[in-house]
Amino acid sequence: MHPGSAVPPVDLSSIVSVAQAEGEAAGRTPADVWDYLVGGSGQEVTLGANRTALDALAVVPRVLTGLSERSLHCRLVDGEARMPVAVAPIAYQKLFHPHGELAVARAAAVAGVPYVVSLLSSTPMEELAACGGSLWFQLYWLKDRSRMLDLIRRAEAAGCEALVVSVDMPAMGRRLRDLRRGFTLPADVRAVHFGEQQASRDIAAGGSSIASHTAMAFDPSFSWADLAWLAAHTRLPLVVKGILDVDDARQAAHAGVAAIVVSNHGGRQLDGAPSSVDVLPAVVDALDDSVQVLIDSGIRSGSDVLKALALGAHGVLLGRPVCWGLALGGESGVAHVLSLLHDELDNAMALAGCGDPSSIRQLRTLTPAARPGGRR
Ligand SMILES: Cc1cc2nc3c(=O)[nH]c(=O)nc-3n(C[C@H](O)[C@H](O)[C@H](O)COP(=O)(O)O)c2cc1C
């Protein structure tokens, strides 16, 4: 809770599912910040499709497997994780709680899951690295390559374990909620990795507007050749985030990336793009085991994680629910959301007859079209 707020502190123990955290956090977050967090682009068709597709998917449980114990441990990219989940990069986390990214990094470290630091973090990566967890650093492609190289060297020196390149931002999607409200960042929340010069330009532009970062700093001409350049300039494994097309997945594999993230940016970029789970099976089929397939956009429960893995993903990224936890109680709130997700996944695995994440990938799934009476 924000200090000085009239809203009473939340009793985290009364929140018994990840999904419930959304309603509780909504009442504790200023309306403009809430809209920035939960909103999508355009008519929010893709935002809605992420949930519709997950809800419509069924997983067929196995029985009599003889298992009495489970482990959720797995490998994500090049490291160990205590469950097949990483915290997605989310910009400006001090918007949701004064401790911002530090609270999230600490909770992720305790939960044993990687935390993807956004390029637009409001806390420097070095401070987050001091929390001791597994950090991946996310980049958008910048016009200024020397600044990008500086950031890559900083990420390497800070001990980040992977570089996540988000490739779905040639321009920012039109977020109508933010446009209607004229949403701008408060003066005390800024993208610290951009340095003082950018920050003062933002303030001069009248409140550090998010679209101004995108337009001024991001390079829309980013191409596969640039990705090859990046691969040659870092020793860190690359993760390409924001893939939906099968041919793009193949190109990324060809470029030697360690993993891709099938993602529509949580419905915030092309409105009308497919849900991530709808394209996931074809992407998984197109790749061999040398590339891990992660997925995000709409994951809200342990059973959603089970569904994603049953479709062939190796892990998921969790976006907005982490910020619900942050808004509810800083580090404890995020820890609570991650622990609920762990317990939900553990329970779903028990009920589906799975002893570990790799066995989830053997489960059968049913989509609406494949059900009796469904469309073909
Ligand atoms: C408020 C907000 C800020 C985000 N900032 C970034 C970012 O800085 N970099 C990035 O690659 N993705 C960013 N994303 C996208 C997330 O990493 C992720 O793809 C998306 O939130 C997943 O969907 P979910 O929120 O439904 O779980 C952002 C998403 C939200 C909601």
Residue 364 annotated as binding site: no
pLDDT digits (tens, 9 = 90+) for 277-296: 999 999 999 999 999 999 99
User: Does the CB atom of residue 336 touch ligand 1 within 6 A?
Assistant: no
Please, where are the H alpha helices in 57-175? 100-111, 125-129, 145-157
- Tokens representing 127 are 């401070």
| CB < 8 Å & 24+ apart, contacts of 283-290 | 283/243, 283/246, 283/249, 284/311, 284/312, 284/313, 285/312, 286/246, 286/249, 286/250, 287/249, 287/250, 287/253, 287/260, 288/253, 290/253
| Residues paired with residue 87 on neighbouring β-strands, in sequence order | 115, 318
As a whole number, mean pLDDT of residues 234-246 equals 98
> Among 116, 69, 74, which Cα is nearest to 349's?
69
Angle at which helices 45-56 and 276-286 cross, to 10°: 70
| Domain limits, the chain | 12-367
Tokens standing for residue 344: 């939900």
Decide if pLDDT at 309 tops 80: yes
Burial 150-170 (b: 16+ CB within 10 A, else e): ebbebbeebebbbbbbbbbbe
Instruction: Return the pLDDT at 204.
Output: 46
Ligand 1 pocket test target in 268, 307, 324 with most atoms within 8 Å of CB: 268
If you measure from the C-alpha of residue 266 to the centroid of ligand 1, how many angstroms do you get, rounded to a whole number? Answer: 6
Report the pLDDT value the prediction gives residue 209, as an integer from 0 to 100. 59
Instruction: Tell which atom from ligand 1 comes closest to the C-alpha of 47.
Output: 26
Tens digits of residue pLDDT in 157-171: 999 999 999 999 999
Is 298 annotated as contributing to ligand binding? Answer: yes
Residue nearest to atom 31 of ligand 1 (CA): 37
Q: Indicate if ligand 1 lies below 6 Å from the C-beta of 264.
A: no
What value does the mean pLDDT take over residues 297-306? Answer: 98
What's 315's DSSP letter? E
186-210 average pLDDT score: 66
- Neighbouring CB atoms inside 10 A of 269's CB total 24
Answer whether 89 contacts ligand 1 (Cβ < 6 A). Answer: yes
Alpha carbon 195 to chain centroid distance? 24
Q: By alpha-carbon position, which residue is closest to atom 15 of ligand 1?
A: 265
pLDDT band at 203 (very low <50, low <70, confident <90, very high): very low
Q: What average pLDDT does the segment 346-363 reach? A: 98
- Token look-up 């397939």 returns 293
pLDDT of 373 reads 64
Question: Of all residues in the chain, what percent carry a pLDDT higher than 70?
Answer: 91
Mean pLDDT of 188-214: 64
> Counting every residue, how long is the chain?
376
204, two tokens: 């001069």
Residue nearest to atom 8 of ligand 1 (CA): 91
2 is in an annotated binding site: no
Tell whether 115 is in a known binding site. no
> Which ranges in 80-217 belong to alpha helices (H)?
100-111, 125-129, 145-157, 176-181, 195-204, 210-217
Check pLDDT > 80 for residue 374. no
Cβ proximity of 351 and 59 under 8 Å: no
- Ligand 1 centre and the CA of 48: distance in Å? 15
**265 C-alpha vs ligand 1 centroid, how far in Å?**
6
- CA of 50, closest atom in ligand 1: 26
SS (H, E, C) 239-305: EEEEECCHHHHHHHHHCCCCEEEECCHHHCCCCCCCCHHHHHHHHHHHCCCCCEEEECCCCCCHHHH
Q: Which residues pair with 81 in a beta bridge?
A: 74
Name the closest-CA residue to atom 6, ligand 1: 90
Residue 265 appears among annotated catalytic residues: yes
Q: What is the pLDDT of residues 58-102, one digit of tens each?
A: 999 999 999 999 999 999 999 999 999 999 999 999 999 999 999
Residue 268 among known ligand-binding residues = yes
Question: Would you give the end-to-end CA distance of the chain in angstroms?
Answer: 49
State the Cα–Cα distance between residues 137 and 159, nearest whole angstrom: 10
Query: Could you tell me the sign of the dihedral formed by the alpha carbons of 280, 37, 342, 368, in that order?
Result: negative
Helix (H, G, I), strand (E, B) or coil at 41: coil
- Bridge-based pairing of strands 74-76 and 79-81 is antiparallel
For residues 351 and 63, is the Cβ–Cβ distance under 8 A?
no
- Selecting among 97, 193, 213, 265, the annotated active-site residue is 265
Q: Domain spanning 12-367 has what CATH number? A: 3.20.20.70
Tokens of 176: 């109508």
Per the CB < 8 A criterion, the answer to whether 336 and 330 are in contact is no
